[in-house]
Chain A
Amino acid sequence: MKSRTQRKLFIVFVLAGITLAGYLTYRALQENMLYFFSPTQVAAGEAPQRTFRLGGMVVDGSLKREPGTLNVSFVVTDNVHSVPVKYDQLLPDLFREGAGAVIIGRLNDNGEFVGEQVLAKHDENYMPPEVADALEKARAAQGQ
């Protein structure tokens, strides 16, 4: 036999549990959210100090490699502003100059973007929607 108080206590515990679980889920989600910023936003100083995603077109002829090492640098642009990127791992198969790319990483003190991961796993005709959007916005802003 459950008394009334016992039942109330049970409900309070369940609600407290759900609230706690919800809060923890929210925190975990928030900590792992990676926001997207375009080169224009980075130039305007809107980008945070923490890790984020940078996307745009890789500028033709900007890909430079330190001979014999994995260190590369290239420039990502939305045709209005550009951001230099440094990277020291294998570039994915579909990474090309003149194509869209999204890079996860953070800004260093010299205003360079230090990449941790370059995303270019989609097929070559495919443009990451965020990059397409960023290019579109930059074009519109320039036209004004």
Chain B
Amino acid sequence: MGIAEANVNNGVNTEALLNAREALSNAPEAAQFKWRATTTWQNGTHSRTDVQGFFGLGQEQAHKSEFTFVADHPEVFASEDNGATPAEILLAALGSCLTAGVAAVAQHRDIQLNRVKATVEGSMDIRGILGVDSDVRNGFGGIRVHYEIDADASEDDIKALVAQSQKRSAVFDALTNPTNVHVEVSRVGS
């Protein structure tokens, strides 16, 4: 087992993760999770999204507290800029998912991380979202992630951390592969 040597500490409980993997490999039902977010319109392009409960390990679960994400658009879009754009929040999700993975893989491989910084840049031709040109897609044309990592390991071992993290990342998968998205509507109020 890859239980960390005493001197490597990236703050990841590898043993618990490996035990969970072992337990869930024979209990696919318990591995079924549902992540949830609730978005409430504020005004204009400004919205607030709350995250608290999720489902997993066969029952309802809750975060220690409720987390809030504020989204808006910048003033160049004639908005109030109360928060990051949803597209930037997606980049934040990618960067944080990959970085969590880097730490977990490093711990498993007994590599001490000293400093990890990811710069995530998504390029977008906004003629798509503005409806100027129907041949231009709405989403990112491409995303580039650049990692600067200071760790007690060789360059190839550090590259392997980042490669393995991509391989096991939920958000990397969600962005690189298609997902069926179902949006339904209920009319409420009077």
Indicate whether A and B interact.
no
